[in-house]
Amino acid sequence: MSFNVLNDAALNQLFRDARTVHAFKDTPVSDAVIHQLYDLLKWCPTAFNAQPARYVFLKTAEAKAKLIPALMPGNVPQVQSAAVTVIVAQDTRFHEHLPTQFPGYDAKPLFDANPAMTEATAARNSSMQGAYLILAARALGLDVGAMSGFNPQAVNEAFFADGRFKANFLINLGVADPAGVHPRGPRLAFDEAAQIL
């Protein structure tokens, strides 16, 4: 059986040549590109088609100023230089959308009755959706720097005061400044990280 494998140029752009970027050029990213990005990442598979991720795209200096106090000091320049910083959050009440998003059967009561499952499902699936955002951005030619060096509670207080959404992680987007691209770190070999049973 043959598989429809992407060509090497595409695989290089998505994986092999891509790097976590720590500084960006002063090149804007349009709202149209952000919409195009969402129109790709929204196809990410999620449990029960739940789609718990929520995204806040910070473009303006004023919006980023609300985020800066929550960052570890070393991450401030990355956010300041990025054309866009995305807060990838999770909707704690994502299951309210299940009647329209998962019409196969009434799955909402499963989550209504089980807060622990709701929290785990939101965290796991919003993380996966954020990973798809990274791939979608790279597919569109953007450079990416994902970050977890921040105070989630401070982000929640600044952006999600009603408590429904909870910050998961941050993603900086734009055009890489070569000074902010470091050599790739090593990766574990297959036998160190995987097994086939």
Long-range CB contact pairs, 182-189, < 8 A, 24+: 182/19, 182/20, 182/22, 184/19
The alpha carbons of the chain give a radius of gyration, in whole angstroms, of: 18
pTM recorded for the entire structure: 0.96
User: What pLDDT, on a 0 to 100 scale, did the predictor assign at position 99?
Assistant: 96
| Residues 155-170 pLDDT 10s | 999 999 999 999 999 9
User: What pLDDT, on a 0 to 100 scale, did the predictor assign at position 166?
Assistant: 98
User: What pLDDT, on a 0 to 100 scale, did the predictor assign at position 1?
Assistant: 74
- Cα–Cα–Cα angle for 56, 59, 61, rounded to 5 degrees: 120
* Inter-residue contact 139 to 39 (CB < 8 Å): no
User: What pLDDT, on a 0 to 100 scale, did the predictor assign at position 15?
Assistant: 97
| Residues 53-66 pLDDT 10s | 999 999 999 999 99
Task: Give the C-alpha separation, 131 to 108, whole Å.
Answer: 25
| Residues 79-135 pLDDT 10s | 999 999 999 999 999 999 999 999 999 999 999 999 999 999 999 999 999 999 999
Percentage with pLDDT > 90 across the chain: 98
* Inter-residue contact 118 to 92 (CB < 8 Å): yes
Residue 13 has pLDDT above 80, yes or no: yes
Task: Give the C-alpha separation, 110 to 106, whole Å.
Answer: 8
As a whole number, mean pLDDT of residues 28-32 equals 98
